[in-house]
Amino acid sequence: MFNKIVESSPSFCLEDREETPVQLIQHPLLKEYGIELYVKRDDMIHPLISGNKWRKLKYIIQDMMAVKKKYLVTFGGAWSNHILATACAGATFGFKTVGFIRGEEVQNPVLTVAKLFGMELIFTDRTQYRTPQTVFEDYLSKVANPNEYYFLEQGGQHPLAIKGCEEIIKNLPFVPNQIYCACGTGTTLAGLALGLSSTQENDKLETKNTRLFGIPVIGQGDLLREDILALNPKACFELLSAYHFGGYAKTKPELLNFISDFCRHTGILIEPIYTGKLFYAIFDQIKQGKITSNQKILAIHTGGLTSFLGMYEKWK
């Protein structure tokens, strides 16, 4: 076996990395309850264009290139995984990126890395930020060639994003009884639901009895149901909305302790914003007897390990 030579942008293609492993993990609690927990290691797609951020960007970038735009303009908070992924994708595939960042000007490791990848950062006050389309149009009125710019909502919300996420569960090595995924906007979950129904149609895997669970990482997570159905009206899923720990990017000591314990036993890094809440929920469902030992459980590791950068001081 030889290592593969890849070309530099734009033909260096991340698609080669999408066949991420499905790993059976070990943990004393799983042993005690006799549960087989498998993790789809989408965190291994790329260190910075990580997990579901690559899945969401993939067809958007292809679309942008097809319509010959030079600039991708998008939106995010100052710690956004989406901003970082977009900046790195721009440098990798050879297009320019502009990031409108919510709130007053700040400096942090995420924004520094985005700048290193050549992203232009524009800090935007919170009121204006709520109407991104208007912010985008104002910006276009000031640039030389407005028709070179492609608009992308915060978090990569776009109809093409679910098409990429649908592929997360392509070529699974077995039919899981249950699939679990963290939800911010719910786009990834909408894509997974599509993936389950299309594998059924293609008759590759008998997935019609596979149950899909979303773990909202924000408060009032039940409100996501409508957003998910707007993206995929046929989506079949359940939301477990009691695992937000006070809201987006909020934590509690029990979550931080869980994360330490999980990382130590599995060698898989998870973080407090998304995947920490996801695995906490799965383990809690096991303890409550809602997940039983004859089931094959698949958790989607959506990546996003840079979420740590703003939170490392929480573990003292």
Ligand X SMILES: *Cc1c(COP(=O)(O)O)cnc(C)c1O
- 99/155 with CB nearer ligand X: 155
Q: Does 303 bind ligand X (CB under 6 A)?
A: yes
Q: What residues from 256 to 275 belong to the interface with ligand X (CB under 6 A)?
A: 274-275
- 52/92 with CB nearer ligand X: 52
We find the least distance from the C-beta atom of residue 153 to ligand X, in angstroms, to be 11
* DSSP-assigned letters across all residues of 265-308: HHS----TTTHHHHHHHHHHHHHTTSS-TT-EEEEEE---GGGG
71-100 burial, b at 16+ Cβ within 10 Å, e below that, comes to bbbbbbbbbbbbbbbbbbbbbbbebbbbbb
Q: Does 124 bind ligand X (CB under 6 A)?
A: no
Distance of CA 209 to CAs 34, 153, 163, 281, 294, Å? 21, 34, 22, 21, 14
We find the least distance from the C-beta atom of residue 280 to ligand X, in angstroms, to be 14
Q: Does 51 bind ligand X (CB under 6 A)?
A: yes
CB 137 within 8 A of CB 151: no
Out of 27, 39, 52, 164, the only residue in the binding site for ligand X (CB under 6 A) is 52
Out of 99, 195, 221, 304, the only residue in the binding site for ligand X (CB under 6 A) is 304
**Size, binding site for ligand X by CB under 6 A:** 17
What is the per-residue binding string for ligand X in 68-87, x denoting contact by CB under 6 A? -------------x------
Q: Does 239 bind ligand X (CB under 6 A)?
A: no
How far is 151 from 223, CA to CA, in rounded Å? 25
Q: Number of helices (H) and strands (E), helices first, in the chain?
A: 11, 10
User: Of the ranges 45-53, 60-68, 117-125, 256-264, which one interacts with ligand X (CB under 6 A)?
Assistant: 45-53
* Sign of CA pseudo-dihedral 194, 197, 200, 206: positive
* Sign of CA pseudo-dihedral 64, 214, 210, 40: positive
We find the least distance from the C-beta atom of residue 289 to ligand X, in angstroms, to be 27
Distance of CA 215 to CAs 3, 58, 208, 262, 276, Å? 38, 24, 21, 18, 11
What is the per-residue binding string for ligand X in 183-202, x denoting contact by CB under 6 A? xxxxxx--------------
What is the per-residue binding string for ligand X in 147-166, x denoting contact by CB under 6 A? --------x-----------
Strands, E assignment, the chain: 22-24, 36-41, 71-76, 96-102, 120-124, 149-152, 178-183, 211-216, 238-239, 296-301
Q: Which residue is nearest to ligand X (CB)?
A: 304
- 152/183 with CB nearer ligand X: 183
User: Of the ranges 1-9, 21-29, 51-59, 252-260, which one interacts with ligand X (CB under 6 A)?
Assistant: 51-59
We find the least distance from the C-beta atom of residue 148 to ligand X, in angstroms, to be 27
Residues in the site for ligand X, rule: CB under 6 A?
Answer: 51-53, 81, 155, 182-188, 274-275, 302-304
